[in-house]
């Protein structure tokens, strides 16, 4: 820094690329005293006495040569050596990997939803998806296991492909034994079946130990080399234990089970009494019918708010959030149209699922129906989380006459759809395989299964 009261002797004017940079030494604000630089007068230098201490010379003005900025002075970031084709290829690979991960994730959730008890994990996962989107509002947060899903899908696909020869050989061996018991063909096929089964089992174990990617299932020789190298280094069991522990941690089994169990209990507390009143009688006349109508009206009220109460519970991760009706109402008035559209989509997409409850498939084929339930309910959770986030971050605006009229008309339309939905749900007990139990299977809010 310059001393106070003195100007900088150097001035640099800014310039763009291709323009000259003019460097000017400005005139000093104080004169330059020569006595500071000349020696003191003495007998050897008598001529110095002629210079008075007060004699001063003005500071010279120096103008430097212009500096031209060229391309050599510009620092540029090096280009991607792969070029456009490499970037396009990376994008295509990312799209294929993400699509394969989403398909694998949906299939995995469908398989787990078909297992009683384990389907609470699926409900917890769907609530986790809803809570993530409700907190961030980003679509990419709707697939928390999408990084792990491709590995699970590759494992399922690899195991299925490698067990296919075993199934074919088993069928051929059974036919040979039926046609000629004890014949050479029977013995040869029996031996081949056992040998192939042992070889495939060893290969699958090594492929899973290496990580379970698709390349691990198609390179058996490399799997053997990898095992020998791990054995020589003596860290096989440590590596396998760490990989399994990381895999289990990423699944977040305890978190999703606990979240699904609490979400199920909270929703059932809202639905139990109105559903019980709706299922109290099958008659459509008399005093019992009044109880049924009263239960249907209560269900309409619950259906109005339960999707957003679940979103609030998932976002807060607290059970009491399932009963914060006043908080949800305050958020509703900030974005009423988003909430009404979400509610209409929830009712419209969940109603056709009752048709799958007319005749249930065998337990080993239940995943085919749960696949339809997951594909239908998954986007509903994402949309509900988005509507909740929109109502949270949006500032409340004063209601205009037009917006008030549109909101009233939309709310009335939703109530008509709700009434029709409750009536149709009431009649599902006459066509469902579980009878009145179908009324308590609110798959849009409880377990996403047809049972």
Tens digit of each residue's pLDDT (9 = 90 or more) over 191-212: 999 999 999 999 998 888 888 8
Specify if 450 maps to a domain: no
Q: Tell whether 236 and 149 lie within a shared domain.
A: yes
Whether 78 is covered by a domain: the verdict is no
213, pLDDT greater than 50: yes
Q: Decide if 2 is inside a domain.
A: no
Mean pLDDT of 166-191: 88
pLDDT band for position 422 (cuts 50, 70, 90): very high
pLDDT at 399 over 80: no
Question: Are 101 and 208 within one domain?
Answer: yes
3-state class (DSSP) for residue 20: strand
| Residue 89 confidence (pLDDT) above 60 | yes
Whether 5 has a pLDDT exceeding 60, the answer reads no
Q: Which of 143-152, 176-185, 266-275 has the highest mean pLDDT?
A: 266-275
- Residue 67: pLDDT band (50, 70, 90) is low
Give the count of beta carbons closer than 10 Å to the beta carbon of residue 387.
27
Half-sphere exposure of 113 (CA within 13 A, CB side): 30
User: How many Å apart are CA 399 and CA 408, to the nearest integer?
Assistant: 12
Q: Is residue 150 part of a domain?
A: yes
- What pLDDT sits at residue 297? 93
- On the question of pLDDT at 156 being above 50, the answer is yes
Choose one of 231, 251, 271: the last residue of a domain.
Answer: 251
Residue 68 pLDDT: 56
What pLDDT does 336 receive? 84
Q: Are 225 and 246 in contact (CB under 8 A)?
A: no
Shared-domain flag, residues 263 and 244: no
Is the predicted pLDDT of residue 45 greater than 80, yes or no? no
Domain membership of residue 79 (yes or no) is no
Please tell me whether residues 69 and 124 are part of one structural domain: no
Residue ending a domain, choose from 39, 73, 107: 73
pLDDT (mean) for 320-329: 92
**Same structural domain for residues 246 and 258?**
no
**Does pLDDT of 161 surpass 60?**
yes
Average pLDDT, the chain: 80
Cross-strand bridge partners of residue 141: none
Number of domains in the chain: 3
Residues 247 and 153 in one domain: yes
pLDDT on residue 28? 46
On whether both 171 and 60 belong to a single domain, the answer is no
Q: Is residue 197 part of a domain?
A: yes
Domain assignment of residue 80, yes or no: no
56 in helix, strand or coil?
A: strand
Q: Is residue 202 domain-shared with residue 143, that is, in the same domain?
A: yes
Looking at residue 272, what is its pLDDT? 93
pLDDT of 186 higher than 90:
no
pLDDT of residue 296: 92
Are residues 155 and 63 both part of a single domain? no
Q: Are 271 and 233 members of one domain?
A: no
292: nearest Cα among 305, 308, 281, 304:
281
d(CA 290, CA 235): 72
Place 357 in a pLDDT band, splitting at 50, 70 and 90.
confident
Are 46 and 166 within one domain? no
Residue 133 has pLDDT above 90, yes or no: yes
Q: What is the pLDDT of residue 434?
A: 81
Query: Looking at the predicted structure, is the pLDDT value of residue 356 above 70?
Result: yes
Q: Helix (H, G, I), strand (E, B), or coil: what is residue 63?
A: strand
**% residues pLDDT > 70 (the chain):** 80
pLDDT of residue 19: 47
pLDDT at 177 over 60: yes
Of 203, 235, 251, the residue at which a domain comes to its end is: 251
Question: What's the domain range around 387?
Answer: 253-440
Q: Give yes or no for residue 375 having a pLDDT over 50.
A: yes
Domain match, 59 and 124 both: no
Rounded mean pLDDT, 346-353:
85
446 in a structural domain: no
SS3 at position 23 = strand
Given a cut of 50, whether residue 134 has pLDDT beyond it is yes
């Amino acid at each position: 820094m310059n001393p106070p009261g003195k100007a900088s002797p150097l001035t640099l004017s800014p310039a763009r690329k291709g323009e000259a940079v003019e460097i000017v030494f400005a005139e000093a604000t104080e004169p330059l005293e020569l006595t500071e630089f000349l020696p003191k007068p003495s007998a050897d230098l008598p001529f110095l006495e002629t210079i008075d201490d007060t004699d001063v010379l003005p500071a010279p003005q120096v103008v430097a040569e212009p500096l031209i900025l060229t391309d050599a002075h510009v620092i540029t970031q090096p280009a991607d050596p792969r070029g456009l084709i490499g970037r396009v290829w990376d994008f295509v690979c990312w799209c294929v990997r993400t699509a394969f991960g989403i398909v694998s994730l949906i299939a995995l959730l469908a398989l787990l939803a078909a297992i009683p008890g384990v389907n609470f994990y699926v409900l917890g996962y769907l609530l986790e998806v809803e809570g993530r989107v409700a907190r961030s509002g980003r679509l990419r947060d709707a697939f928390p296991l999408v990084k792990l899903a491709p590995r699970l899908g590759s494992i399922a696909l690899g195991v299925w492909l490698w067990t296919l020869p075993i199934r074919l050989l088993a069928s051929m061996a059974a036919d040979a034994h039926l046609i000629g018991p004890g014949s050479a063909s029977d013995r040869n096929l029996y031996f081949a079946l056992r040998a192939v089964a042992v070889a495939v089992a060893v290969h699958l174990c090594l492929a899973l130990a290496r990580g379970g990617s698709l390349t691990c299932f198609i390179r058996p020789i490399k799997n053997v080399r990898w095992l020998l190298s791990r054995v020589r280094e003596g860290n096989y069991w440590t590596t396998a234990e760490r990989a399994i522990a990381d895999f289990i941690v990423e699944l977040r089994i305890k978190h999703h089970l606990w979240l699904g169990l609490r979400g199920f209990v909270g929703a059932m507390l809202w639905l139990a009494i109105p559903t019980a009143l709706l299922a109290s009688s099958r008659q459509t006349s008399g005093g019992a019918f009044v109880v049924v109508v009263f239960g249907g009206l209560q269900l309409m009220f619950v259906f109005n708010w339960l999707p957003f109460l679940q979103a609030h519970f998932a976002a807060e991760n607290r059970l009491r959030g399932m009963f914060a009706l006043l908080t949800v109402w305050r958020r509703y008035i900030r974005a009423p149209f988003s909430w009404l559209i979400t509610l209409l989509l929830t009712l419209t997409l969940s109603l056709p699922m009752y048709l799958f409850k007319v005749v249930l498939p065998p337990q080993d084929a239940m995943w085919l129906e749960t696949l339809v339930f997951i594909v239908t309910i998954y986007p509903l959770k994402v949309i509900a989380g988005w509507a909740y986030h929109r109502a949270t971050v949006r500032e409340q605006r004063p209601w205009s006459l037009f917006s008030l009229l549109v909101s009233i008309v939309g709310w009335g339309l939703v109530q008509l759809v709700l009434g029709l939905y409750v009536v149709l749900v009431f009649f599902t007990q006459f066509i469902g395989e579980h009878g009145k139990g179908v009324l308590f299977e609110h798959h849009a809010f409880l377990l996403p299964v047809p049972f």
